[in-house]
Chain A
């Protein structure tokens, strides 16, 4: 009965779409669109824009760190007064660069650019839905993000500079204009921008969750969902539960900054004046911030892991090993991600007992992460591996996930963290495990689903060059940082020559800077490949990777509504690759078990009878429907 109702709705929705499809003009098609595929592309292009900005900012501060004596006069046309008379970068602006690099990369690139693009693009296509549950909310989600970006971008050009208190914007520094100029207008714009961003993220997240729960096609049970969808779904859940807490933190900061409250401020004497605030606690802000801040790590990482699971399975021509274990570890990470936040605060002055508790919880989260790595490795084992650029980036991701994950075991141990906290060891750790890993997930996704997005192929050879330059480059940038971190170099330092213990490794810092600039420049290969292939790439075939999932059953250029006829029904999980007995090395999800008796496993053979019954019921229903007309 339920299936029947769904079928009925589908036809209704479909007719409805046909009616409207032809009325699209430029604005409704490309700008204020409600088509999830176009919104995904909007997120992607905006994300790429921000990645260029964020990456470029990092090359600026790497110049300062690698070549402290360099005359930066040539940057004056761009940076103006931020280059002083002697051709040096202004130390305050250095902090602004670091802050903006972090904010942009974490939120605008790896949250919006990654989740925004692929949750939007893949959820309806892979679960078999015509669009998101609410196209309008989806539209709002993008435009809130856009507006948030405009405001953040504007703040880069303020005379007092953008926010400069680090991407965590800890008060009191971020609350007091007297303490750093970036905490004036720059910080105000940061807060407004982030508020809009949170709104965008919530609108998107609620939509993703609703869509996954309600709009799955016939037969698409949760246990048949591709791991991408599981990852996007849980990412959205994490976002919905944690972003509001950041909003609360930001709101209280706004009160402290503008309305004279003392949530985070207490006993402060700054710029020759004792402030009236008492009773507040800067540590409270840290708790609230990291209650989002830590889950945020998984918000950027889980979609990348989901994409990787899909890409590795497809290109290994093997089912993902341990589907259930993968889902359980995703669930485990989701739950645990909420109860480990204070490991960022072991030496913040909070009660050390709390530190012990968070150390236990933190190291537990390493277990599901380890399970995922082992499962990836076993998926590769005895596969028939095809190295598409997406596959290369996925393998690269697993490597970063291991390297960066293992250093997390040092940092999660509060006793060891005393020395390593806020040194370059931490910088190396999170740039590998969350920054580079997620970035590689994003790249894998773009290379893999480009044919579905634009109906054309990206050039594979350029993809290989892009991968190898980036893969080697990322390691050359971040691996040496471990040594620098063990030597005790603190982060967010404009220069290290003031201290004897850090007055060394100028060679290594120079090396890192050169590697960073080369790696950044190498991304031009991708940009060229991306935009060129969009218009001039080879025409894609319908299923270029011989994949099992639903998105490859749509036309080359799916219209709004995705499938021209009825939405396909799903009869199996999405990982039937190289099934013994099957003629091809993949069986799409839309092929009924009853058509593949030669390759069915014993428990699947039992399902065939049930499947046939359901199909018969459906046929009867459709027939009855026909005769009514």
Chain B
């Protein structure tokens, strides 16, 4: 019954619209306004451009100012401060261009709307103008590119030797974290060694893997360089730590990396945001399947001293599960015959 009433309502509404449409068409035929080059509608449209300019302009400024703290994310890494600065410089430059061009774009229609008897200015070209507005954007862009390039080069430069290495491995649909232990060198892995107990596929015949340990979250010291070694087990993933301004794809078969220096501990950030629940997070930003939206991992940034204490408390893979290595030695002997490429140095 409801459906029927809705149906009738929609039908009535449509016929009403239809009649209004027919009437306005007929009226315009009678008035002859459809044969005029520019009728009243021309003035209305010209005026609406002004309304649009003012209306959306106010809306934009109002919302941008009101929501500023919501959409700007606090930054917690050294390079993040630089990229944020570049972002806002670019915002200033493009913002000015955005405003000027839009003011012109919407004022011109109002100012130069059709008037009977006026003739448009025949103005086909002006080489000087063309050169100016080719060169000026060129120079401005060159400035932006060069500053961006310098930042990019620093960010992607090889990590300092003393950087703390941490492996982040993506799979459907979670992240696994591995620490290299005291030697700061991760043990080899091979995807064919992966099984229920050895989710990383760690090769325990490599002595570097002896002190490797897993962690349910990423714990890192403030103010010291951290090197994420990133890989994926099945499909593409992407490590996104928004507060660290860090993003790098995890690619099966091709290890990637990203290094950074965290500048605020979790506790400091909690104090700054007045949010006692605050956590640094890692999300996935490369579509990886059904659970793409749920690949959450936490990062905890602590003071260096606390970090050392935490390190000392961790148990290696082998300590946690001695069987893991036992089973593998047999397997790796079998594998020796078909040994191929993968190594993680």
Given contacts A180-B290, A363-B145, A386-B37, A172 and B236 within 8 Å (CB-CB): yes
| A282 lies within 8 A of B253 (CB) | yes
CB-defined contacts of A360 to chain B, threshold 8 Å: 145, 149
Mark interface residues in A447-488 (1 if CB within 8 Å of B CB, else 0).
Answer: 000000000000111101000100110010001100110111
Residue B122 is within 8 A (CB to CB) of chain A in the complex: yes
Give the contacts of A349-402 with B (CB-CB under 8 A). Answer: 349, 352, 355-356, 359-360, 363-364, 366-367, 370-371, 373-375, 377-378, 380-387, 392, 395, 398-399, 402
Please, how many angstroms separate the alpha-carbon atoms of A288 and B46 in the complex?
46
Please, how many angstroms separate the alpha-carbon atoms of A580 and B94 in the complex?
38
Residue B310 is within 8 A (CB to CB) of chain A in the complex: no
CB-defined contacts of B50 to chain A, threshold 8 Å: none
| A484 lies within 8 A of B144 (CB) | no
CB-defined contacts of B246 to chain A, threshold 8 Å: 418
Given contacts A268-B233, A318-B122, A494-B292, A165 and B45 within 8 Å (CB-CB): no
CB-defined contacts of A585 to chain B, threshold 8 Å: 119-120
Q: Could you say which of A320, A322, A347, A488 contacts B73, with CB atoms under 8 Å apart?
A: A488
Given contacts A384-B112, A418-B245, A490-B285, A363 and B141 within 8 Å (CB-CB): yes
Give the contacts of B285-299 with A (CB-CB under 8 A). Answer: 285-294, 296
| B130 lies within 8 A of A382 (CB) | no
Give the contacts of A516-566 with B (CB-CB under 8 A). Answer: 538, 546
How many interface residues does A have (CB within 8 Å)? Answer: 118
Please, how many angstroms separate the alpha-carbon atoms of A418 and B292 in the complex?
19
Chain B residue, CB-CB nearest to A349: B256
Residue A32 is within 8 A (CB to CB) of chain B in the complex: no
Please tell me the size bucket of the interface on B: 35 or more
Residue B109 is within 8 A (CB to CB) of chain A in the complex: yes
| A578 lies within 8 A of B252 (CB) | no
| A496 lies within 8 A of B145 (CB) | no
CB-defined contacts of B46 to chain A, threshold 8 Å: 385, 387
Please, how many angstroms separate the alpha-carbon atoms of A515 and B73 in the complex?
26
Interface-centre pick from B91, B101, B233, B277 (highest chain A CB count, 10 A): B101
Q: Could you say which of B80, B93, B105, B123 contacts A402, with CB atoms under 8 Å apart?
A: B105
Chain B residue, CB-CB nearest to A169: B287
CB-defined contacts of B289 to chain A, threshold 8 Å: 92, 95, 173, 179-180
Residue B42 is within 8 A (CB to CB) of chain A in the complex: yes
| B137 lies within 8 A of A415 (CB) | no
CB-defined contacts of B90 to chain A, threshold 8 Å: 409-410, 413, 416
Residue A501 is within 8 A (CB to CB) of chain B in the complex: yes
Given contacts A268-B253, A364-B141, A490-B283, A501 and B122 within 8 Å (CB-CB): no
Residue B102 is within 8 A (CB to CB) of chain A in the complex: yes
Please, how many angstroms separate the alpha-carbon atoms of A480 and B67 in the complex?
11
Give the contacts of B127-171 with A (CB-CB under 8 A). Answer: 129-130, 133-134, 137-138, 141-142, 144-145, 148-149, 151-153, 155-156, 171
Please, how many angstroms separate the alpha-carbon atoms of A225 and B87 in the complex?
41
CB-defined contacts of B82 to chain A, threshold 8 Å: 415
Residue B197 is within 8 A (CB to CB) of chain A in the complex: no
Mark interface residues in B251-277 (1 if CB within 8 Å of A CB, else 0).
Answer: 111101000000000000000000001
Please, how many angstroms separate the alpha-carbon atoms of A278 and B252 in the complex?
10
Please, how many angstroms separate the alpha-carbon atoms of A523 and B234 in the complex?
42
Please, how many angstroms separate the alpha-carbon atoms of A468 and B72 in the complex?
31
| A500 lies within 8 A of B278 (CB) | yes
| B153 lies within 8 A of A416 (CB) | no
Chain A residue, CB-CB nearest to B155: A415
Give me 26 A-to-B residue pairs in the complex whose CB atoms sit less than 8 angstroms apart, sorted by A's number: A172-B234, A267-B191, A267-B252, A269-B192, A274-B192, A281-B254, A319-B123, A321-B123, A347-B248, A349-B256, A367-B134, A375-B130, A378-B129, A380-B105, A380-B112, A383-B112, A416-B90, A418-B247, A421-B247, A422-B247, A490-B285, A491-B285, A500-B277, A501-B73, A504-B70, A538-B29
